[in-house]
Amino acid sequence: MTENLTKPDAAEDDFELANFLPFLLNQAAEESSLAFQNVYKNRYGMLRTEWRVLFHMGMYGQMTAKEIGQRAKMHKTKVSRAVQRLAERRFLIRTRDAQDRRVEHLDLTPAGEAAYRDLRSVARDYDVKLARHFTSGEVALLRAMLRQLAGIR
Amino acid sequence: MTENLTKPDAAEDDFELANFLPFLLNQAAEESSLAFQNVYKNRYGMLRTEWRVLFHMGMYGQMTAKEIGQRAKMHKTKVSRAVQRLAERRFLIRTRDAQDRRVEHLDLTPAGEAAYRDLRSVARDYDVKLARHFTSGEVALLRAMLRQLAGIR
DNA sequence: TATTGTTAGTTACAAAATCAACTACTACGC
DNA sequence: GCGTAGTAGTTGATTTTGTAACTAACAATA
């Protein structure tokens, strides 16, 4: 009788966790966001949740907290707190909808717009810098694969 | 006189948050680790920090907390607390170095080894599933690019 | 117009991450 | 040896996140 019906160990050992995609993705994400993080942190005292909200508003204009949550895949409590802090610091203003008084429309203030444009330009430069490691075809493929993995339609 | 000497808005608007590498990497990392997270969480009651320590020890054998921190890019307090919990649950044992009594050598117990092998096999299957979206050449390129971005030598 | 269900957003409390200070120890310079 | 500086790892205080329960408002139905 064979004493081992499971896969042989040799087949198991060729898997290196150092190549595990969730691990690699995480390391790359953390490393690649460090330098940019320092900018919005030091220059505007923002947290990651806050710059994400700011960016979505800068890109898409007036939004509600719910819409931001859907687009950014952020939980509503995260959005709520980020909006609160951005409102306190006068980066955005909230106005109740007249028809449906549950919803709030959020708009960037001029200060918010300015911060958005500033950070957007930093982000653009930073992205170029990251992409410089690769050919443009490689980067395009990378983005497409990441979108697929992230479940972005 | 021209009234606008800065770059025209059209050139600025080509920035898409959805293409910003740190953002994409983060979304992909988060989405792709969700399903796997449930396994080590539900099956072993581990936190992400703990699973990371376990997996580094499984890969490289005996290590010190400092080495784990360097390889996994985890802050020493995170490592310290993860090691503490893994030791409490008898997944690893700590032994003081005889020469330098500040350092502790960490080794997986048989239970720790078993958990490591189990999770590694789950990870392997999961990795295959993620990679199925792409050709094998694409996946190899993706891993190489992620390693580069992560600063893994 | 009461009843039930649903939605937008907030709040409360627990879990976890972060940062600074701390203990115990080693190593260097004198 | 003695003082100073540096290192491995821990602890405590503060901040941030996650989960659930909550408030206020709307909508459908009877």
Share of chain A above pLDDT 90, in %: 86
- Using the predicted structure, report yes or no on whether residue A12 has a pLDDT greater than 80: no
In this prediction, residues A78-93 reach a mean pLDDT of: 97
pLDDT of A5 higher than 70: no
Structure confidence at residue B12 (pLDDT): 47
Beta strands in chain B (DSSP E): 92-96, 104-108
- Chain A residues with CB-CB distance to B20 below 8 A: 123, 127
- What CATH class has B33-150? mainly alpha
Chain C nucleotides covered by protein, CB below 7 Å: 7-12, 16-20, 24-27
- Residue with smallest Cα–C1' gap to D26: A100
CB contact under 8 A, A22 and B16: no
Q: What are the phi and psi torsion angles at B97 (to 5°)? A: -75, 140
Of A104-108, A133-137, B18-22, B114-118, the least confident: B18-22
- Beta-carbon contacts of B149 under 8 Å, excluding residues fewer than 6 positions away, are A28, A31, A32, A130, A133, B21, B25
For residue A57, count CB atoms less than 10 angstroms from its CB and return exposed for 0-12, middle for 13-18, buried for 19 or more: buried
- Contact residues on chain A for B29, CB-CB shorter than 8 A: 22, 25-26, 28-29
pLDDT digits (tens, 9 = 90+) for A109-133: 999 999 999 999 999 999 999 999 9
Specify the DSSP class assigned to residue B31: H
Amino acid at A24: L
Residue B5 has pLDDT above 70, yes or no: no
- pLDDT score at A17: 86
pLDDT of residue A13: 56
pLDDT digits (tens, 9 = 90+) for B32-60: 999 999 999 999 999 999 999 999 999 99
Is there a contact between A28 and B142 if contact means CB atoms under 8 Å apart?
Answer: no
Nearest-angstrom CA–CA distance, B28 and A141: 14
Residue B7 is given by DSSP the state P
Answer for the pair B100, B94: CB distance below 8 angstroms, yes or no. no
Q: How many CB atoms lie within 10 A of CB B101?
A: 8
B29 pLDDT more than 70: yes
d(CA B119, CA B113): 10
Residue A127 pLDDT: 96
Between B108 and A151, residue with greater pLDDT: B108
User: Which residue is listed with tokens 């930073």?
Assistant: A126
From the number of C-beta atoms within 10 Å of its C-beta (0-12, 13-18, 19+), residue A100 rates as: exposed
| pLDDT over 60 at B4, yes or no | no
Q: Three-class SS string for chain A?
A: CCCCCCCCHHHHHCCCHHHCHHHHHHHHHHHHHHHHHHHHHHHHCCCHHHHHHHHHHHHHCCECHHHHHHHHCCCHHHHHHHHHHHHHCCCEEEEECCCCCCCEEEEECHHHHHHHHHHHHHHHHHHHHHHCCCCHHHHHHHHHHHHHHHCCC
What fold does the segment set A35-150 form as a domain? Arc Repressor Mutant, subunit A (1.10.10)
Question: Does the nearest atom of strand C lie within 7 Å of A107's Cβ?
Answer: no
Q: If we measure between CA atoms, which residue out of A28, A24, A30, A32 comes closest to residue A130?
A: A32
Nucleotide nearest to B63 (CA to C1'): D8
Q: How far apart are CA A77 and CA A81, in angstroms?
A: 6
State whether B142 and A142 contact (CB < 8 Å).
yes
Inter-chain residue contact B26 with A15, CB threshold 8 Å: no
Percent of residues in chain B assigned helix, strand, coil, to nearest 5: 65, 5, 25
Report the gap between the CA of A72 and the closest CA in chain B (Å). 9
Both tokens of residue A40?
């919005």
Instruction: Give pLDDT tens digits for A15-65.
Output: 788 999 999 999 999 999 999 999 999 999 999 999 999 999 999 999 999
Cβ contacts of B20 within 8 Å, gap of 6 or more: A123, A127
DSSP letter at B102? T
Q: How far is the CA of B104 from the C1' of D9 (A)?
A: 9
Mean pLDDT of A58-77: 95
User: Bigger pLDDT: A16 or B84?
Assistant: B84
Using an 8 Å Cβ cutoff, are B129 and B103 in contact? no
